[in-house]
């Protein structure tokens, strides 16, 4: 008797959770209205989400240099470190600028380095080939949308 009551309550909770998922509230969707995580697959299209940028750009391209204790300017871009080393953190080269200033791609040093109008050092990825405009624009969009994790 007591057990079946408990089970019933548990089932009702599960049903409510399932019904609440994606029920038009926008929960579970990214800024483009696509399911979160959709762009994580490096073989699929890149989206303007942090995890997609990580799997399409930071991990395959940038960690060739930006990883481990000798990472240039102390900037590690592997999946375990990139977010905390980028978002809201002052650039080593131009400390007046954040590497990523949430909501402000134009004043994010990461974008200056990717587009090649930085005031110190080289365009990234160092030595090229450089990212195309569409890829940089998705990173801009992620920042302008608030640079969420």
Spatial CB neighbours of 47, under 8 Å, sequence gap ≥ 6: 30, 32, 34, 38, 39, 138
Q: Is 121 in the site for ligand HEC (CB under 6 A)?
A: yes
Q: Is 102 in the site for ligand HEC (CB under 6 A)?
A: no
Taking residue 86's Cβ as centre, other Cβ atoms within 10 Å add up to 22
| Contact characters 78-97, ligand HEC, x per CB under 6 A | -------------xxx----
CB of 128 to ligand HEC, least distance (A): 9
CB of 66 to ligand HEC, least distance (A): 5
Asked if 95 and 119 touch (Cβ cutoff 8 Å), the reply is no
Torsion of CA 40, 144, 68, 73, to 10 degrees: 160
Site size toward ligand HEC, by CB under 6 A: 22
Spatial CB neighbours of 107, under 8 Å, sequence gap ≥ 6: 97, 98, 101
Find the binder of ligand HEC among 4, 127, 129, 133 (CB under 6 A). 127
CB of 58 to ligand HEC, least distance (A): 6
Q: Is 69 in the site for ligand HEC (CB under 6 A)?
A: no
Q: Is 73 in the site for ligand HEC (CB under 6 A)?
A: yes
d(CA 106, CA 87): 14
Q: Which residues bind ligand HEC (CB under 6 A)?
A: 57, 61-62, 64-66, 72-73, 75, 91-93, 99, 109-110, 113, 121-122, 124-127
């Amino acid at each position: 008797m007591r057990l079946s009551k408990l089970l019933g309550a548990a089932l009702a909770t599960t049903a409510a959770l399932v019904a609440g998922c994606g029920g038009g509230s926008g929960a579970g969707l990214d800024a483009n209205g696509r399911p979160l995580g959709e762009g994580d697959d490096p073989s699929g299209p890149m989206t303007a989400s942090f995890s997609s940028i990580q799997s399409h750009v930071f991990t395959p391209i940038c960690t060739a240099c930006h990883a481990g204790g000798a990472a240039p300017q102390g900037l590690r871009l592997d999946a375990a470190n990139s977010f905390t080393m980028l978002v809201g953190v002052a650039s080593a080269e131009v400390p007046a600028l954040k590497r990523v200033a949430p909501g402000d791609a134009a004043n994010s040093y990461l974008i200056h380095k990717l587009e090649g109008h930085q005031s110190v050092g080289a365009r990234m990825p160092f030595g090229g080939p450089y990212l195309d405009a569409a890829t940089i624009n998705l990173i801009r969009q992620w920042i302008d949308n608030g640079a969420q994790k």
